[in-house]
Structure 1
Amino acid sequence: MASSSASAKPSIGIVSIGDMGMGVAKLLLSHDYQVLTVSAGRSQHTIDRIRAANIKDVESDEALLAEADIIFSIVPPRDALATAKRIADVCKPAAGPRKERKGPGSDSVIYVDLNAISPLTTSKIFGILGTNVSQTPPPPPSITRRITRTLSMGGQAQQPDSPPLPPIKIKFIDGGIIGAPPSKSDDSDEWKLPSIPLSGPRDLLPAHLMSTLNMKIISDKIGSASALKACFASLSKGFTALSILSYTTAQTCGVLPEFQEHLDKYAPGVRDRAEKGITAMAPKAYRWVDEMRQIGETFKGVSGLKMGNEVYGGIAEVYKFVAEDTVLGEEKTNKRKRGTTAEDVAAAMAEGVDKKLKKKEDINDKLELAWRGSWS
Structure 2
Amino acid sequence: MAIQTVGILSPGDMGGAIAAVLNKNGMRTVAALNDRSPRTKQLAAAAKIENVGSLQNLVVESDLVLSVLVPSAATPAAKQVAEAIKQVGKNILYADCNAIAPDRVKAIEPIIQAAGGQFIDASIIGPPPRVPNRTRIYASGKPAGELEKLRTYGLDIRVIDDEIGKASGLKMCYAALTKGLTAIATELLIAAHRLDLDEVLQQELSTSQKNLLDLLHHSIPSMAPKAHRWVGEMEEIAATFGAVGLTERTFEGAADIYRFVKETSLGKEKPEERNSDRLLADIIAQLSDDNL
TM-score range, shorter chain: over 0.9
Structure 2 residue 118 is the aligned partner of structure 1 residue 171: yes
**1: CA distance between counterparts of 2:77 and 2:181?**
29
Aligned twin of 1:74: 68
**2: CA distance between counterparts of 1:314 and 1:206?**
35
Measure how far apart 1:216 and its partner are.
1.0
* Contact 1:289–1:316 (CA under 8 A) maintained in structure 2: yes
**2: CA distance between counterparts of 1:204 and 1:287?**
29
Aligned twin of 1:319: 258
Structural mapping, 1:274-353, within 5 Å = 274-301=216-243, 303-305=244-246, 307=247, 309-324=248-263, 326-337=264-275, 340-353=278-291
Measure how far apart 1:82 and its partner are.
0.8
**Scaled by the length of structure 2, what TM-score is found?**
0.95
**1: CA distance between counterparts of 2:147 and 2:76?**
28
SS at match of 1:345: helix
The code of the aligned residue for 1:181 comes to P
Q: Which runs of 5+ in 1 are unaligned?
A: 4-8, 96-106, 133-168, 185-190, 355-376
The code of the aligned residue for 1:263 comes to L
The code of the aligned residue for 2:35 comes to G
> Which of residues 181, 187, 202 is equivalent to 1:239?
181
* Contact 2:32–2:52 (CA under 8 A) maintained in structure 1: yes
Structural mapping, 1:202-281, within 5 Å = 202=143, 204-205=145-146, 207-211=148-152, 212-281=154-223
Flag the 1:217–1:203 CA change in 2: closer, same or farther, 3 A.
closer
> Which of residues 14, 26, 30 is equivalent to 2:8?
14
Aligned twin of 1:155: none
Deviations 1:137-173 (A, max 9, x none): xxxxxxxxxxxxxxxxxxxxxxxxxxxxxxxx21100
* Contact 2:120–2:143 (CA under 8 A) maintained in structure 1: no
**Count of aligned pairs:** 291
**1: CA distance between counterparts of 2:51 and 2:112?**
24
**1: CA distance between counterparts of 2:148 and 2:196?**
55
Measure how far apart 1:285 and its partner are.
0.5
Measure how far apart 1:338 and its partner are.
8.6
Deviations 1:164-202 (A, max 9, x none): xxxxx2110001000001114xxxxxx244011100115
* Contact 1:327–1:338 (CA under 8 A) maintained in structure 2: no
SS at match of 1:90: helix
Structure 2 residue 138 is the aligned partner of structure 1 residue 197: yes
Structure 2 residue 42 is the aligned partner of structure 1 residue 48: yes
Aligned twin of 1:358: none
Q: Which runs of 5+ in 2 are unaligned?
A: none
**1: CA distance between counterparts of 2:137 and 2:182?**
22
Deviations 1:39-89 (A, max 9, x none): 123221221222233211011110000110000000011111111011012
**2: CA distance between counterparts of 1:338 and 1:51?**
24
**2: CA distance between counterparts of 1:332 and 1:286?**
11
Flag the 1:294–1:202 CA change in 2: closer, same or farther, 3 A.
same
* Contact 1:173–1:200 (CA under 8 A) maintained in structure 2: yes
SS at match of 2:30: strand
Measure how far apart 1:342 and its partner are.
1.1
* Contact 1:263–1:271 (CA under 8 A) maintained in structure 2: yes
The code of the aligned residue for 1:108 comes to N
* Contact 1:338–1:345 (CA under 8 A) maintained in structure 2: no
The code of the aligned residue for 1:333 comes to P
**2: CA distance between counterparts of 1:80 and 1:206?**
19
Measure how far apart 1:279 and its partner are.
0.8
**1: CA distance between counterparts of 2:123 and 2:25?**
21
Structure 2 residue 20 is the aligned partner of structure 1 residue 26: yes
SS at match of 1:48: helix
Measure how far apart 1:283 and its partner are.
1.3
* Contact 2:137–2:157 (CA under 8 A) maintained in structure 1: yes
CA-atom RMSD in angstroms? 1.6
Measure how far apart 1:240 and its partner are.
0.2
Following TM superposition, the consecutive aligned residue runs of length 4 or more in structure 1 with deviations greater than 6 angstroms are none
Q: Does 220-229 or 274-283 show the bigger shift?
A: 274-283
